[in-house]
C-alpha cells in the first residue's frame, strides 16, 4: 500500500491520546504467561508486534481473552511444549525475550520470523544464553532458532551493547537458572523489564548499569499501559516543524530510560511542555504540549543518550532537516541491525526529498535548514519507523511525496494516519 503525503496549510492543531506502548505491551503479556493466575492488561497495543508475543504465548499453552478492550491472560505459570514452530513475525522483541524463557524449559522449541527478522543478529543472545548452559541451534546466528530446553546456571555478563532486548532475554533466562544472574551494560537501556518483573515479585536488584536476578515465582499483574513515547515522537517532530502547529499528546510514557527525544527537543530549543506528570505502576506518564518553533538549532546526539532514543533517530533526521546547523548523530551503529539498516535507509530516502544528509559508519549528519522539494517516491524497506519518519518529512515538502510500503506502519502504530488526520 502506498500513501501520498502533502504539505499542510494550517498547521497541526488539537489533542490526541497516544496509543499503547509496544515495549510494555510485549512484556505485560510475556511476563503474565509466567505468572500463575489471571493477569489483567488494560490498553494492550493494537500493533502487530505485541500480537506476535500474544500468539506465541498462546502456542505455549497460555489462555487469553479480550473483554471490553481489556486483555485477560490466564496461565498456570508453566509453559507447555508447542505443537509447531513459534512464529515471531517481524518482532525482534518477541524472539529475543521468548528465547531467554525457552532456553530454561524442559521441552524443545523452534522460533521463526519473517524475512526481515530472519536477517537480524541473534548471536547477541545466543552467546550469553550458551554461557548459561542453553542449547541453541541457529542459521549462522540468525533465525530460525532451535532451542533445546536445558538446566541453566546464573552468570555475570558484561554486555558490549546497551540493549534492552538482550538484557531482558538474559534476565528472563535468569528466572529459570540456578544461582544469581547479573547483566551489566555500558549505558542503561530501557528498564521496563526491571520495573515490571520487580512489581510481579521477582528477586531482582538494580545497581547502576547492572541488574541481578534469581529464580523467582511471579505473581499475576494488573496493569494500565501508558502511551508509547516512540509513537508520540512523530507528532512531536511534526508539530515542531509545521508552521502554526500547537498540539497536546495525552497519556505519554515518560520513563527517563525512553525519553531521550525530549532531551533533544530541549537542546534544539523546541517549544515543548510536560503537563500533568504522574507515576502509574512505576512508569512516569504525562501529557505533552508541543508548538511550532521556527528557530530550531542543530545539536550533537551521541554516547549514553543513544539507547534512550534509539527508535526515534529516523524521525530526528526529519526534524533535523528544519534545524539551523549540523545535527550529528554518532555511536548509533546498532541502527544498522534494526528492521532495516536504518542508517543507510534514512540517508537514502531523506536525501531523495532534498535534505542534505551524510552517512557515517555509526550515525549520520544532517545539515539544515533544508528546503525539501519532495515530488518523488520513497521506499520503506519493510520498516515501520522509516515509513512514519518519511511521512513527517513529507509534511514539509513543497510537492507531494508517495511513500511505498506504508502498510508496515501497522507493525507498531495502526492508528498513525488517522491520528494525523485528526490534527489537520
The mark string for 186-225 relative to ligand S3P (x by CB under 6 A, - otherwise) is: ---xx-----------------------------------
Q: How many residues bind ligand S3P (CB under 6 A)?
A: 11
Question: Residue 251, interface with ligand S3P (CB under 6 A)?
Answer: no
Q: What's the angle, vertex CA 287, arms to CA 285 and CA 292, rounded to 5?
A: 140
Nearest approach in angstroms of CB 170 to ligand S3P is 12
Confirm if 91 and 53 have CB atoms less than 8 A apart.
yes
Nearest approach in angstroms of CB 185 to ligand S3P is 10
Question: Residue 159, interface with ligand S3P (CB under 6 A)?
Answer: no
**Which residue from 163, 293, 321, 340 is in contact with ligand S3P, where contact means CB under 6 A?**
163
Question: Residue 43, interface with ligand S3P (CB under 6 A)?
Answer: no
Nearest approach in angstroms of CB 306 to ligand S3P is 9
**Which residue from 165, 181, 212, 251 is in contact with ligand S3P, where contact means CB under 6 A?**
165
Nearest approach in angstroms of CB 413 to ligand S3P is 12
Question: Residue 310, interface with ligand S3P (CB under 6 A)?
Answer: yes
- Assess whether 311 carries a catalytic annotation: yes
Nearer to ligand S3P, 166 or 323 (CB): 166
**Which residue from 35, 145, 164, 288 is in contact with ligand S3P, where contact means CB under 6 A?**
164
Nearer to ligand S3P, 24 or 247 (CB): 24
Q: 310 in the Ramachandran plot: left (φ > 0), alpha (ψ -120 to 50) or beta?
A: alpha
Nearer to ligand S3P, 26 or 352 (CB): 26
Question: Residue 93, interface with ligand S3P (CB under 6 A)?
Answer: yes
Nearest approach in angstroms of CB 385 to ligand S3P is 8
Question: Residue 311, interface with ligand S3P (CB under 6 A)?
Answer: yes
Per CB under 6 A, which region of 59-67, 161-169, 236-244, 413-421 contacts ligand S3P? 161-169
Beta pairing partners, 224? 42
d(CA 171, CA 163): 12
The mark string for 11-40 relative to ligand S3P (x by CB under 6 A, - otherwise) is: ------------x--x--------------
Q: Which residues contact 225 (CB under 8 A, 6 or more apart)?
A: 20, 21, 24, 25, 28, 41, 42, 43, 44, 45
Confirm if 387 and 408 have CB atoms less than 8 A apart.
yes
Identified catalytic residue from 21, 228, 287, 311: 311
Among 374, 252, 261, 245, residue whose Cα is nearest residue 314? 261
CA distances from 144 to 54, 126, 363 (A): 19, 12, 29
- 313 burial via Cβ count (<10 Å: 0-12, 13-18, 19+): buried
d(CA 126, CA 149): 13
Q: Which residues contact 339 (CB under 8 A, 6 or more apart)?
A: 90, 92, 116, 120, 381, 382, 383, 384, 385, 386, 411
Confirm if 236 and 265 have CB atoms less than 8 A apart.
yes
Residue listed under C-alpha cell 500474544: 54
User: H-type helices in 104-228, by residue range?
Assistant: 123-131, 164-174, 192-199
State the catalytic residues: 311
Contact residues for ligand S3P, defined by CB under 6 A: 23, 26, 93, 163-165, 168, 189-190, 310-311
Amino acid at each position: 500500500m502506498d500513501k501520498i503525503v502533502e504539505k499542510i496549510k494550517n498547521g497541526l492543531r488539537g489533542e490526541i491520546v497516544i496509543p499503547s506502548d509496544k515495549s510494555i505491551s510485549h512484556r505485560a503479556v510475556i511476563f503474565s504467561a509466567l505468572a500463575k493466575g489471571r493477569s489483567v492488561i488494560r490498553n494492550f497495543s493494537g500493533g502487530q508486534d505485541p500480537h506476535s508475543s500474544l500468539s506465541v504465548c498462546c502456542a505455549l499453552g497460555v489462555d487469553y481473552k479480550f473483554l471490553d478492550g481489556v486483555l485477560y491472560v490466564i496461565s498456570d505459570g508453566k509453559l507447555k511444549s508447542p505443537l509447531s514452530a513459534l512464529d515471531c513475525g517481524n518482532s525482534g522483541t518477541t524472539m529475543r525475550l521468548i528465547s531467554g524463557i525457552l532456553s530454561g524449559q524442559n521441552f524443545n522449541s523452534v522460533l521463526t520470523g519473517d524475512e526481515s527478522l530472519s536477517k537480524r543478529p541473534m548471536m547477541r543472545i545466543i552467546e550469553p544464553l550458551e554461557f548459561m548452559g542453553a542449547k541453541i541451534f541457529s542459521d549462522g546466528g540468525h533465525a530460525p532458532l532451535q532451542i533445546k530446553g536445558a538446566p541453566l546456571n546464573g552468570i555475570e555478563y558484561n554486555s558490549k551493547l546497551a540493549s534492552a532486548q538482550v538484557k531482558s532475554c538474559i534476565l528472563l533466562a535468569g528466572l529459570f537458572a540456578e544461582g544469581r544472574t547479573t547483566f551489566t551494560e555500558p549505558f542503561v537501556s530501557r528498564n521496563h523489564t526491571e520495573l515490571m518483573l520487580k512489581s510481579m515479585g521477582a528477586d531482582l536488584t538494580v545497581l547502576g548499569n547492572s541488574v541481578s536476578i534469581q529464580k523467582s515465582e511471579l505473581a499475576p499483574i494488573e496493569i494500565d499501559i501508558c502511551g508509547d513515547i516512540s509513537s508520540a515522537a512523530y507528532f512531536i517532530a511534526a508539530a515542531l516543524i509545521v508552521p502554526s502547529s500547537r498540539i497536546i499528546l495525552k497519556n505519554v510514557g515518560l520513563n527517563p530510560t525512553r525519553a531521550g527525544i525530549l532531551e533533544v527537543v530541549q537542546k534544539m530549543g523546541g517549544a515543548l511542555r510536560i503537563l500533568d506528570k504522574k507515576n502509574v505502576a512505576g512508569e512516569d506518564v504525562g501529557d505533552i504540549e508541543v508548538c511550532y518553533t521556527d528557530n530550531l538549532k542543530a545539536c550533537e546526539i551521541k554516547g549514553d543518550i543513544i539507547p534512550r532514543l534509539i527508535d526515534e533517530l529516523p524521525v530526528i533526521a526529519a526534524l533535523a532537516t528544519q534545524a539551523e546547523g549540523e545535527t550529528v548523530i554518532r555511536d548509533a551503529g546498532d541502527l544498522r541491525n534494526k528492521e532495516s539498516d536504518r542508517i543507510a535507509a534514512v540517508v537514502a530516502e531523506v536525501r531523495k526529498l532534498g535534505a542534505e544528509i551524510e552517512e557515517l559508519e555509526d550515525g549520520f549528519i544532517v545539515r539544515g535548514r533544508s528546503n525539501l522539494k519532495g515530488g518523488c517516491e520513497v521506499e520503506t524497506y519493510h520498516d515501520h519507523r522509516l515509513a512514519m519518519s518519511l511521512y513527517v518529512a513529507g509534511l514539509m515538502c513543497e510537492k507531494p511525496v508517495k511513500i511505498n510500503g506504508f502498510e508496515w506502519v501497522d507493525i507498531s502504530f495502526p492508528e498513525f494516519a488517522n491520528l494525523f488526520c485528526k490534527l489537520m
